[in-house]
Structures are given as C-alpha cells and as structure tokens.
C-alpha cells in the first residue's frame, strides 16, 4: 500500500492547498470529499473531468420535476416579428456604420470574418450544397459590401496576404500560401486556365492527424489482412477530407465578404500548388512534405481570387535533400513501387515500366502500376504513415525541432538521422487500443478546430 494512503488526511490535503481556518471549513464543505490521495487518484467519473470536479446524481441547479413542463412553449420568449424586424434593421444599420467608419473590432475585415463563419455554418447546417446561394442570400441583406456602401478591403498585397493567413489559421489551416497565375502556373494545369481576372491562387494546407496515421505504418504479417495495413489508418485521411471542404467554405466566404471574388474549392494538382506556394517541398513519395507536419497532410485546398495578394515563395527546409538518403517510405512500400534511387531523375512516373506523365520535374518516379495494382491509395498508405518527418517535434516523432533545423541547414547528418529513426522504431505501427482509452483532457493530437493540430 502506498505510504500516502495513511499519512495524508483530507484536512492536511486542504491545508496543502493553502486553505485554513474558516476557509478550510467552507472549502471542505463544498470540495469533493477524498479520504486520501489513493482515493483521489482512483476516483472515476463518466466524463473526462479534472480531478477536482465530482459527479453528482442531480444537477447543481435545483429542479422541481413535479412542476417543470417544457411543453409550455418557449415561443412566449420570442420577439414579435415586428420587433424582430426592428432589431434586425438596427443591427444591419449598426454594422454598416461600423464598417464604413472602421470602428475598432468592428472593422470591415472583422465583420467579414464573422460573416464568413456564419455563412459557412448555415451552408453546412442546412445541408445546402449550393453555398453560393446561401452566401448571396445572406450577403445581399446583411453586408455593407454587397450594398456598395464600402469598397472591397484592400490594405495592399502584403497586408491582404497576412489577413488571409490570420483568418485561415482561425478556420483550421496552419499555412496559407499564394501563387500568382502566370505561365508557370498554367503549365501545372491540364485544363486551360481562363483569363478571367482571377490572378491569384490561395493555397490552404489541410493537415492530417499523424497519430492515427501510425495505425497503418506497417502491414500485417499474418491473418486475413496479411500484407496490408489495418483499415483503421484511413480515418486520418478521411478526417482530412472532411476538414478540407469546411476550411474552403470558410475561406471562400471570407474573401467574398471582403468584397472580392473567390472560386474553386479543391485542386487536382494540389501537390504542385503546395510546392509552388511554399507550403511544402516535394518528397520521394510524390506527396508534399512540410517542415512541421512532414507528409502527414491530406491535401491543399485552393481557390482563385482577384484580391491583390503578395505571392509566397517556395521553401527549402531540407526536406527534398533529406529524401535522398532517407528512403524509409520506399523500404516500407509493400509492392516496391517507390524508387530506391538516391538521386531523383528527370524521368516521369512509370506504368508497367514505361514513363507515363509529366516530364520536366526532377523527382523520384513512382511505378503506379505497382502502387495502384496493389490497391492503393484505398488499400495502403504505409509510405504516408512511416515518414520520419511527420509532425516534427511531437511526442511521436523522431525528428525534433532542433534536428529539423539541422536538416534545413546541412545534409551531412541526413543518412544517420534516417537510420536512427528506423532503428528506434519511431515509424512503427501504434496500437489503436491505447488511443480509445486516451486521456482526453491532456491528449494534444486530435484535429479539433479552434484548438490545434497536435502541436
């Protein structure tokens, strides 16, 4: 038995908290009653609650169940439609004046941020697939910008970019980049890019939960799934696909609420867009890798706009160089479709031994006949889960922030760092059972909007 069991009384414990005398009496009367620390430590609740919160049989608000009757309509608390119209008109008037005058915390962009969230929520809540309609319906009635009372928000390309980055972070993306639509961009698209005045592409990175990814970092050795990774690892990707449209719809609405056009929600060439916008570098897998999240990304959500924006530059975090000596993804690839060559090549991707597409980029080709023939992407993703750069600096990564800085500065340790990751097994598969019982109050790795992405 723990020695704490018999030596710490409730009174001593309260004293330890700095509660004495009358305070002690009052606190002791209301605080959860634990007879010793063992009882405290082992106290169980049905919710994931802090230890000082106790569960009770009835809510703390007194209720007389013999009187309470919710069938007594709540309508009596609603304004008459006449009063409701008055309040709405006054609210619109107030918002318009604030937008025109630039009232602190109610400036044009503050209001745009609020409107964009509102429109996105309504679009999703009423399951209206045509959010343009929702936006127009809302915007025409509620915003000064649609009534022509103010000009589109324009604080110059750099500040406009900063505004989108700050809003995007709030919407759920850690990184917003911008590409100018020029001849180079047009070459990245298989479809003609119309000359319609939309001069920039806003590129928003959608992060994928790297912990659940690791449920699929290896293939089963035996059993019915032999040779394949577990099904559960798909949840990280699916959650990323779920988050992406919600992110887009908010960003799209925000740009419109600022008075500019915004079109598009996704991009077929999101890897190239991420690289060109400087959100990411290309990796051996053909997927995009970023300094903080490695390849634990789902995709880039992209939209075109006429808002004047400063294009962001490509980055060098040493990722492309690191891939030369790492090869972990290729070593783990079940059908061996990823290149094991150290140096990238100007040859394009391959299908049954023949180059199939996109010459002009010096990279590591993937033999898609092997990858797709194996059943990917639906049936695999081992490469995605086993990259040592995933979520740099997190508890589950071998590459800590200091090491990431080393990779970015010099390649001489790259081979050692990659083999260290494999030796210590950071890329190994995690046991999903532990995840189901995780401490929800302290677990930092879920993609909870408004909270973060596990950093």
Taking the complex as a whole, the smallest distance from the CB of residue 208 to ligand SF4 amounts, in Å, to: 14
Taking the complex as a whole, the smallest distance from the CB of residue 190 to ligand SF4 amounts, in Å, to: 22
Is the CB of 295 or the CB of 404 nearer to ligand SF4? 295
185 binds ligand SF4 (CB under 6 A): no
- 108, 248, 305, 376: which one binds ligand SF4 (CB under 6 A): 376
338 binds ligand SF4 (CB under 6 A): yes
Nearest to 31 by CA among 6, 61, 53, 56: 53
- 326, 350, 407, 417: which one binds ligand SF4 (CB under 6 A): 326
Is the CB of 209 or the CB of 366 nearer to ligand SF4? 366
Per DSSP, the three-state class of 178 is strand
Per DSSP, the three-state class of 425 is coil
Taking CB under 6 A as the binding criterion, the range among 150-158, 159-167, 277-285, 344-352 that sits at the site for ligand SF4 is: 277-285
Alpha-carbon distance of 174 to 271, in angstroms, equals: 16
* Beta-bridge partners for 231: none
Alpha-carbon distance of 159 to 310, in angstroms, equals: 8
383 binds ligand SF4 (CB under 6 A): yes
Taking the complex as a whole, the smallest distance from the CB of residue 226 to ligand SF4 amounts, in Å, to: 15
Taking the complex as a whole, the smallest distance from the CB of residue 447 to ligand SF4 amounts, in Å, to: 21
Is the CB of 161 or the CB of 382 nearer to ligand SF4? 382
Per DSSP, the three-state class of 356 is strand
Alpha-carbon distance of 290 to 18, in angstroms, equals: 48
Nearest to 337 by CA among 368, 381, 310: 368
Ranges within 294-323 binding ligand SF4 (CB under 6 A): 295, 322-323
Q: What is the CA radius of gyration of the chain?
A: 28
Cis peptide before 225 (omega within 30 of 0): no
Alpha-carbon distance of 313 to 282, in angstroms, equals: 14
Ranges within 194-253 binding ligand SF4 (CB under 6 A): none
| Interface mask toward ligand SF4 for 65-104; x: CB under 6 A | ----------------------------------------
- 84, 377, 425, 444: which one binds ligand SF4 (CB under 6 A): 377
Query: Which residues, 6 or more positions from 223, have their beta carbon under 8 angstroms from its beta carbon?
Result: none
């Amino acid at each position: 038995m723990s020695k704490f069991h018999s030596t710490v009384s409730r009174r001593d414990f309260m004293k330890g908290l700095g509660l004495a005398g009358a305070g002690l009496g009052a606190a002791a009367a209301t605080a959860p009653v634990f007879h010793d620390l063992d009882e405290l430590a082992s106290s169980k609740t049905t919710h994931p609650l802090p230890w000082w919160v106790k569960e009770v049989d009835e809510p703390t608000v007194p209720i007389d169940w013999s009187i309470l009757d919710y069938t007594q309509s709540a309508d009596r608390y609603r304004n008459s439609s006449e009063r409701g119209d008055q309040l709405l008109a006054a609210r619109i008037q107030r918002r318009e004046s604030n937008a025109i005058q630039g009232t602190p915390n109610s400036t044009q962009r503050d209001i745009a941020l609020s409107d964009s969230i509102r429109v996105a929520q309504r679009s999703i809540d009423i399951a209206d697939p045509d959010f343009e309609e929702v936006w127009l319906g809302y915007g025409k009635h509620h915003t000064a910008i649609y009534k022509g009372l103010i000009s589109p928000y324009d604080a110059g390309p750099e500040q406009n970019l900063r505004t989108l980055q700050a809003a995007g972070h709030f919407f759920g993306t850690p990184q917003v980049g911008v590409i100018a639509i020029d001849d180079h961009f047009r070459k990245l698209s298989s479809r003609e890019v119309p000359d319609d005045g939309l001069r920039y592409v806003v590129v928003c990175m959608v992060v994928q939960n790297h912990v659940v990814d690791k449920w699929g970092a290896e293939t089963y050795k035996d059993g019915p799934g032999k040779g394949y990774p577990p099904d559960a690892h798909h949840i990280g990707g699916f959650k990323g696909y779920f988050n992406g449209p919600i992110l887009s719809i908010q960003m799209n609405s925000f740009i419109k609420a600022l008075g500019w056009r915004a079109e598009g929600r996704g991009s077929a060439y999101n890897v190239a867009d991420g690289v060109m916008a400087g959100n990411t570098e290309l990796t051996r897998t053909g997927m995009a890798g970023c300094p903080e999240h490695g390849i634990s990304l789902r995709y880039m959500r992209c939209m075109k706009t006429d808002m004047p924006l400063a294009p962001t530059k490509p980055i060098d975090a040493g990722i492309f160089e690191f891939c030369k000596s790492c090869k972990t993804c290729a070593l783990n690839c079940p059908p061996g479709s990823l290149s094991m060559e150290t140096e990238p090549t100007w040859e394009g991707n391959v299908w049954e031994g023949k180059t199939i597409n996109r010459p002009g980029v010096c990279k590591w080709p993937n033999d898609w006949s092997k990858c797709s023939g194996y059943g990917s992407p639906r049936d695999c993703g081992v490469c995605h889960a086993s990259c040592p750069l995933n979520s740099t600096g997190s508890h589950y990564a071998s590459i800590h922030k200091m090491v990431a800085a080393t990779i970015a500065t010099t390649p001489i340790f790259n081979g050692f760092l990659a083999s260290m990751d494999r030796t210590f097994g950071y890329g190994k598969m995690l046991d999903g059972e532990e995840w189901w019982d995780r401490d929800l109050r302290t677990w930092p790795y879920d993609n909870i909007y408004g909270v973060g992405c596990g950093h």
